[in-house]
Amino acid sequence: MNRVASRNNLIKQILAALIGGFIIFSAIAFVWMIGYQLVYAGKIFPGVSVAGVDLSGLSPNDAALKLSQTLSYPITGKVLFRDAERVWVASPAELGMVFDPSASALAAYDFGRKGGPFSALSGQISARGLGTDVAPVVIFDQRVAYSYLQNIGSQVNQAVVEANLHVEGTNVVSEPGQLGRALNLDATLVYLAGQLQSFRDGEVPLVIQETSPKLIDVSSQAEAARRILSQPLTITVPNFREGDPGPWTYDVPIVANMLAVNIVNNAGAAEMQVGLDPNRLRESLKDLKIIVDQNPANARFTFNDETGQIEPISASTVGRVMDVEASITAINAALLRGEHTVALSVAEQAPAVADTATGADLGVTQLIAEQTTYFYGSSEARIQNIVAAAERYHGLLVAPGETFSMGNELGDVSLENGFAEALIIYGGRTIKGVGGGVCQVSTTLFRTVFFAGFPVVERYSHAYRVSYYEMDASGSVDPDFAGLDATVYFPLVDFKFLNDTSNWLLMETYVNVSARTITWKIYSTSDGRSITWETTGPANVVPPPPPLFEENPEFKVNQISQVDYAAQGADVTVSRTVWRGGQVYFSDQFITHYEPWQAVCQYGPGTEDPEEAARKSKLCQPSS
């Protein structure tokens, strides 16, 4: 117990000594600080300087005077800016710096007097022992500096330049890209402010930001473009056979006009691509597609009635379908490889029936339908058109389940395709037009299909009754044939029927010019169908309007000609029932309305009493 008490007493004695010592030290420090300030009352403490100018013992006014006389840095100082070999030098004053000697002197005077006692004492001791340099007080007008740096920027800044490639005529011109440079004014101002505060000459770094172009080197693309334009481009049909279209050659200037340079994004990076412009190339290839595309064509046959076999009269042809987009890709890819002869992208389509097919293969084993119509009194031009149209269908096959379109197979009715100008019905008048007489062929097909018992999908009658389509073998008009005509004016008017059997149909057409007949035959295998039919004959008969007489300025005086012929209007309904296996397979009706038709006579200017002239010539006479 005595030992513990002794130790506690010792600790208390030590603490008392420390506290007493601290109090004595604080008192001495306070007395020193008060006394030191009294000694240097109104004067700057020893060891205090501003920007290296010793102001010890001077009053603030004297110190300000000394500083203003000694420090000429804002006027005489030099601040340097450098960009490569270009240099700009300016005084701090030119950069917006103003030195305040009075404020700087007051800052020196306050050193060692501000803060708490210990802080002030520390400052006094530090200044006296080691010396203290107080930062000068300056005013920095950043607007002036900003303007100065903007002037430098106008000389330093450089817009980014993308690499360029273009074609002049047939020459490829390329230019490399250039870095963009821009002076960062705010960052440079920070460095400038620090340099000015130092009151020393020095160099301030220009903070320049560089921007890389998306493309800087296009030399490889330029070389690719030159290869593309090194020679003409030749486009071919693949697997070329005699009679195929092409080849087509594009001269270098044409290729140059289609050359395109595009910037694309490749995995986040810009890339320049050269090749033929897809849009321009597409337009050119669309024209070629019209020529290249070809429907597959079945072989054509005739049926040998003696042997019961079919015999080919023309070979089948492979169809082609040109893929424009794939062709564009193939052409550009080939050109980039340095190839200048390129095959189009074409898909071939095999015909359904080759010329090696047999009647047994197709189910063509016998004659199942035949009809003949008559065209007595037809002009040579009309006969020419009947022959030209009928040839289109001779030996043609119709697939099982196919809806046959007469217009699709007829093709372009033009002078170039062997047709002549003859009378046609157009715009409510009978006029001369290319293909007059084709309806003799469509009418014959309609009757053959009708009596064969096939479904008729589309059929149009003539606007008025035409005698050619109601003639019998003797050349007389048989009213039972009224309502059994069909007209074709493709693509507006078509005749279609359905092969609803499981066998192919083989069609043959025969025109006997001397006998003025056209015969249509259909060969297949009979499924036992037959037909019964009845007709109302012409009903609701309406007489034609009175003849029309009109002047034709191209005619001579007293010249008169009948250009249209009168016909009675009528309604006809033909009903058909198709039988198979002793039961009704289907039935249908063909309702026809014929307009009453007006005779028209034309006469030359100056003709007196054209109606009398027509009567004498037995033209345009009223119906009795």
DSSP for 131-191 reads: -EEEPPPEEE-HHHHHHHHHHHHHHH-B--B--EEEEETTEEEEE--B-EEEE-HHHHHHH
What's the rounded mean pLDDT across residues 271-294? 91
What's the rounded mean pLDDT across residues 589-617? 89
pLDDT in tens, 77-108: 999 999 999 999 999 999 988 888 888 888 88
Identify which has the larger pLDDT, 271 or 206. Answer: 206
d(CA 442, CA 69): 121
d(CA 297, CA 294): 9
pTM above 0.75, yes or no: no
The neighbour count for residue 325, using CB atoms within 10 Å, is: 11
Task: Report residue 324 as tokens.
Answer: 């424009």
Which residue, 433, 314, 444, is CA-closest to 390? 444
Top mean pLDDT of 136-145, 476-485, 585-594 is at 585-594
Contact yes or no for 85/76 (Cβ under 8 A): no
d(CA 59, CA 52): 17
Average pLDDT, the chain: 87
Class of the 528-624 domain? mainly beta
- Partner residues linked to 539 by β-bridges: 571
3-state secondary structure of 378: coil
Instruction: Using alpha carbons, list the distances in angstroms from residue 381 to 45, 148, 424.
Output: 132, 95, 12
Confidence of residue 233 (pLDDT cuts 50, 70, 90): very high
Residue with tokens 């011109």: 173
d(CA 267, CA 624): 89
Contact yes or no for 578/529 (Cβ under 8 A): yes
**Amino acid letter at 363?**
G
Residue boundaries of the structural domains of the chain? 1-39, 40-156, 219-349, 359-526, 528-624
Query: What's the DSSP call for residue 199?
Result: T
The neighbour count for residue 155, using CB atoms within 10 Å, is: 11
The answer, yes or no, to whether residue 344 has pLDDT greater than 70, is yes
Q: How does 517-541 read in b/e, with b if 16+ C-beta sit within 10 Å?
A: bbbbbbbbbeeebeeebebbbbeee
The answer, yes or no, to whether residue 423 has pLDDT greater than 60, is no
Return the HEC string of 21-53.
HHHHHHHHHHHHHHHHHHHCCCCCCCCEEECCE
Contact yes or no for 147/188 (Cβ under 8 A): no
d(CA 11, CA 362): 130
Residue with tokens 């003949």: 372
CB neighbour list of residue 624: distance below 8 Å, 6 or more residues apart: none
Contact yes or no for 96/141 (Cβ under 8 A): yes
CB neighbour list of residue 568: distance below 8 Å, 6 or more residues apart: 465, 538, 541, 542, 543, 544, 594, 596, 623
Query: What's the DSSP call for residue 614?
Result: H
Confidence of residue 248 (pLDDT cuts 50, 70, 90): very high
Confidence (pLDDT) at 523: 98
Instruction: Using alpha carbons, list the distances in angstroms from residue 235 to 2, 231, 239, 390.
Output: 122, 13, 13, 37
Task: Report residue 541 as tokens.
Answer: 């008969």
Identify which has the larger pLDDT, 395 or 436. Answer: 395
CATH topology (fold) of 219-349: Ubiquitin-like (UB roll) (3.10.20)
The answer to whether the bond into 622 is cis (omega within 30° of 0) is no
Confidence (pLDDT) at 422: 46
* C-alpha count within 13 angstroms, C-beta hemisphere, residue 534: 1
In Å, how far from its chain's centre is CA 454?
Answer: 46
d(CA 13, CA 265): 86
Confidence of residue 184 (pLDDT cuts 50, 70, 90): very high
What's the rounded mean pLDDT across residues 234-253? 91
Assign 3-state DSSP to the chain and report helix, strand, coil percentages, each to 5.
Answer: 35, 30, 35
The answer, yes or no, to whether residue 508 has pLDDT greater than 70, is yes
Identify which has the larger pLDDT, 621 or 604. Answer: 604
**Amino acid letter at 553?**
P
Confidence (pLDDT) at 565: 83
pLDDT in tens, 127-146: 676 888 888 888 888 999 99
d(CA 119, CA 512): 135
3-state secondary structure of 621: coil
pLDDT in tens, 527-558: 999 999 999 999 999 999 999 898 999 899 98
Confidence (pLDDT) at 312: 96
d(CA 44, CA 48): 7
d(CA 297, CA 24): 126
Confidence (pLDDT) at 448: 97
Confidence (pLDDT) at 430: 47
Confidence of residue 429 (pLDDT cuts 50, 70, 90): very low
